[in-house]
Amino acid sequence: MDAAATTAAAQALCETVRWFASRGYCPATGGNFSRRLDGERVLITASGVDKTALTPAELLPMTIHGELLAEGKPSAETGLHLALYRRDPAIGAVLHVHSIANTLLSRIDTPQRLRFEGYEMQKSITGNLTHEAAIDLPVLDNSQDMETLAAALEARFEEAAPAFGFLVRGHGIYAWGADLASARRHLEGWEFLLACELQRRQLETTR
């Protein structure tokens, strides 16, 4: 990827990040976002920056093996992004946000996965052609140790792959795609489904 293409890739990632941040998905500088540049390199958000005003200067180039290619401090959750890029060469972008729905639903009754069926929005996840099929979103236990989380992901990657994502309990969601646009569609779709499910459960308990 030449310099002009890298600049365009950085600007497009920033635009996606600002879109999510402006809708409340990145409270308190939370969330982290990355995209692949080529077989060996990615761009990832720096640690602790305000995502609503993210600029390309706040993205850091790294190799998928963890070597930082510029000055700066990458996101604390960089290790999980890199594990995904190493695991699957077809992954082009990884997006991670914290929302009320993804934080709460992964905690209630400590599920190992959340099942969705009957929602038209399931079709936003690649490979899902009908609301009539069920789709599972895996839930991994949270850890501050990225190696522990990466090992947990590795153990359940075959389950996470068709969902293009997974939840981290009490923490947030990771979603990915073959490119930035599909990663964004998957994240938007999952967040819509999670918000629906949270409200459905609230309605059921008050009925």
Q: How far is the CB of 77 from Zn ion (least distance, A)?
A: 5
Q: How far is the CB of 87 from Zn ion (least distance, A)?
A: 19
Q: Which is nearer to Zn ion, 42 or 122 (CB)?
A: 42
Q: How far is the CB of 27 from Zn ion (least distance, A)?
A: 11
Q: How far is the CB of 64 from Zn ion (least distance, A)?
A: 20
Adjacent-strand bridge partners of 94: 34, 176
**Residues 105, 167 contacting (CB under 8 angstroms):** yes
Rounded-to-integer distance, Cα 132 and Cα 156, Å: 24
Q: How far is the CB of 96 from Zn ion (least distance, A)?
A: 6
Show the 3-state SS of 84-150.
Answer: HHHHCCCCCEEEEECCHHHHHHCCCCCCCEEEECCCHHHHHCCCCCCCCCCEEEEEECCCCCHHHHH
Q: Which is nearer to Zn ion, 172 or 177 (CB)?
A: 172
Q: How many residues bind Zn ion (CB under 5 A)?
A: 1
Q: Which is nearer to Zn ion, 77 or 188 (CB)?
A: 77
Tokens of 110: 């400590």
Q: Which is nearer to Zn ion, 164 or 174 (CB)?
A: 174
- x-or-dash pattern for Zn ion, window 149-178, by CB under 5 A? -----------------------x------
- x-or-dash pattern for Zn ion, window 37-76, by CB under 5 A? ----------------------------------------
**Residues 43, 9 contacting (CB under 8 angstroms):** yes
Q: Which is nearer to Zn ion, 172 or 189 (CB)?
A: 172
Taking CB atoms, the residue at the shortest distance from Zn ion is 172
Query: Collapsing DSSP states into helix, strand and coil, what is residue 176?
Result: strand
Cβ-based neighbour number of residue 165 at 10 Å? 24
Under the rule (CB under 5 A), what is the footprint of Zn ion? Answer: 172
